[in-house]
Amino acid sequence: MITAITIALAVILVITSVLLVVLILLHRGKGGGLSDLFGGGVSSSVGGSSVAEKNLDRLTVGLGLVWAASIVAVGLLVSTAA
């Protein structure tokens, strides 16, 4: 039996999955990655990482936590419904 909560959590899971893929591809790697495509490779500060990169890191970690929590919640709901 699929409830509205399970459907809502599944939608959140799909949206966060797509956003995580995009955010991870925007990170600056050793070769630049896709962040250079959007102008991420031009700015660099003396400290090593810019404010934009730190905010991107924070957003990625936060979204990863939401993604993991939604996986656990969907798993618990499906296992108790069966």
Query: What is residue 82's predicted lDDT score, i.e. its pLDDT?
Result: 67
Q: Say if residues 59 and 23 touch (Cβ distance below 8 Å).
A: yes
64's tokens: 């990863």
Query: What is residue 65's predicted lDDT score, i.e. its pLDDT?
Result: 97
How much is the pTM?
0.73
Quickly count: other Cβ atoms within 10 Å of residue 16's Cβ. 20
Domain ranges of the chain: 4-28+49-81
Query: What is residue 13's predicted lDDT score, i.e. its pLDDT?
Result: 95
Separation of alpha carbons 49 and 20, rounded Å: 20
Query: What is residue 53's predicted lDDT score, i.e. its pLDDT?
Result: 87
37's tokens: 């495509």
Condensed to tens digits (0 to 9), the pLDDT of residues 26-78 reads 887 665 556 566 665 555 544 456 888 899 999 999 999 999 999 999 999 88
30's tokens: 């050793």
